[in-house]
Structure 1
């Protein structure tokens, strides 16, 4: 291979999540990725809605980009019937948006405990019930629901599903092509059962999305916006990538970093750095 062909081959599985380059508009993201030879992106609902779902789909297509995931659906844990109905309606809209963008993966963040609620097991069961209500609608539109476990520090306010095992316990109630799981290094690196969960997910054909970010200490922007650039922290990123590959996953490796320090920098510089760090620490 020529050096150009080698570079393109290196980036063949790389997907850049939109939040990694939050300072960029959708057109800037599309143009920047295409210029660097990156062929996949992960998108978020709010900026896509602002730009226009159909326009966004056309923009990605015009630049030869595949949308590997749409974030996010979920937030299923409300016990109030009206709130639960509103959540289901919003998730149906998210499914429609994913289908319009041509991605088969809608990432679900389950939701935290309602105010005053201390029954986390019941909250997880409401998550399962909501997913069951959405599965037929999603299946008709060719969209797979992907349950993302979040680090336990998010259990109270964002996600009562904290481990890959908990995510699989819900996902395995449904067909593998309808409900899968997200393996995200930022959320799972600490768990000594993650490797067993990855193997279990692979055996069941459940890995719908693989996302990478590093964990740096101290967290620079709190629990939500403290994700580290690849290679800046303590996560064995290549080890995770090897595990998901050995489990049979052949999809994209999506870099999803929420970090204001990256957002304050030149977008093209950050994107080039992401590609270099991906080669160095993930491949």
Structure 2
């Protein structure tokens, strides 16, 4: 069990469930989108969460050809398959099972993400994390994180937690992901729960958090409210998450500190005002998006 002091322990409950919708992105890649379906389905600072999962090549083979971004970060987490990232900075990275790619678009980046397989399963997630106004025009940056370098914490209950971002605390100590800190202090865990096992996880009380089961269903909180597979569960505030697997279950826990700033979005550009969006579109059309 996580080290949670009983006198300040407040268990988070589900306050909203957002079913993922099947849609397409890129050049025709089939995805399930939960957060980010509309402006009303965001969770500050999380803008969007997409799941891709298919063993049919036609569902993913077209990939995501070269396209621009400005004003936020993208996080790609691969479970199965092989994807190649390339961008205008000369970065080139191969994403395979368990790997993560963390990209800060900042003032502008043009990149592609293309499948490197013609058959087999392609499975994973892409997360969009907003940046505050003061950081939106920072230089673009990119980082590949190999699966072997991502810490995994195995608890006595049989639950395991893969710590992609943030810190995970237990009685034995704190495990932190090897990522640079940012002002939104992102948290990104991949939790595996055996059938019927319950576990309490200590979480930052001031973070906005969501749960996304992608294998099996999960019971959340003291109310044991059921969260079905491929549905995003937005949580109330608190210092603890209580989970119980119903069958072998895997779920993402994602969130961060709220930015509390206005959001203006047009496709791959996320800024604070419509005027800034117009500038981003102009810069892209004129070849100035990536200028320093």
Relative to total residues, which structure has the larger helix share, 1 or 2?
Answer: 1
Normalising to structure 2: TM-score of the pair? 0.31
Structure 1 length as normaliser, TM-score? 0.32
Which has the larger share of strand?
2
Q: Relative contact order: is structure 1 or structure 2 higher (C-alpha 8 Å, sep ≥ 6)?
A: 2
